[in-house]
């Protein structure tokens, strides 16, 4: 069975999360320190193969007015290139406040809330879990 991958794409790091095979639960997987796109895509390709990924959910940073600004356009361009490299469908999910929520959850669990890598992968898990929850809700209607 396949899984879905969640990404929190930042300028310095990419938080990565993975779903379970039933696509109901997301968990943080790792954080990739950004290098070149070629290196990033090779690393993500290896993860997708290893984890049997058939869909990617990328966090899309929207403004408080629910608009797409510069950062969202940057993520869309990156995702277009990633899609061309991996040939996997990529969907976007509103990531507003995911990093803040991740930091709060890590602080509450007494883990290092200031560890940027842990925050990024936790944010990716929050993005992916929100997407999974929406899919489950839609399928139950």
- Tell me how long the chain is: 141
Point out which residues pair with 3 in neighbouring strands. Answer: 53
Cβ–Cβ under 8 Å, residues 127 and 134:
no
pLDDT band at 7 (very low <50, low <70, confident <90, very high): very high
Interatomic CA distance for residues 38 and 54, integer angstroms = 20
What mean pLDDT is predicted for residues 107-124? 68
Q: What is the pLDDT of residue 47?
A: 98
Residues 28-54 have pLDDT tens digits of 999 999 999 999 999 999 999 999 999
Both tokens assigned to 84: 């061309």
Going from N- to C-terminal start, the domains of the chain cover: 3-139
**pTM for this predicted structure:** 0.85
Cβ–Cβ under 8 Å, residues 31 and 16:
yes
Interatomic CA distance for residues 132 and 53, integer angstroms = 14
Cβ–Cβ under 8 Å, residues 32 and 40:
yes
Q: Is the pLDDT reported for residue 139 higher than 80?
A: no
Q: What is the CATH number of domain 3-139?
A: 3.30.420.140
């Amino acid at each position: 069975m396949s899984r879905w991958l969640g990404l929190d794409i930042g300028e310095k790091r990419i938080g990565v999360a993975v779903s379970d095979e039933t696509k109901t639960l997301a968990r943080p997987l790792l954080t990739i320190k950004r290098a070149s796109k070629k290196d990033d895509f090779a690393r993500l390709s290896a993860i997708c193969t290893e984890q049997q990924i058939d869909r990617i959910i990328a966090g899309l940073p929207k403004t408080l007015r629910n608009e797409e600004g510069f950062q969202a356009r940057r993520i869309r361009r990156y995702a277009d290139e990633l899609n061309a490299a991996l040939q996997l469908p990529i969907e976007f999910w509103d990531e507003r406040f995911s990093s803040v929520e991740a930091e709060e959850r890590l602080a509450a669990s007494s883990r290092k809330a200031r560890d940027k890598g842990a925050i990024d992968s936790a944010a990716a898990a929050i993005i992916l879990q929100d997407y999974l929850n929406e899919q489950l809700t839609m399928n139950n209607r």
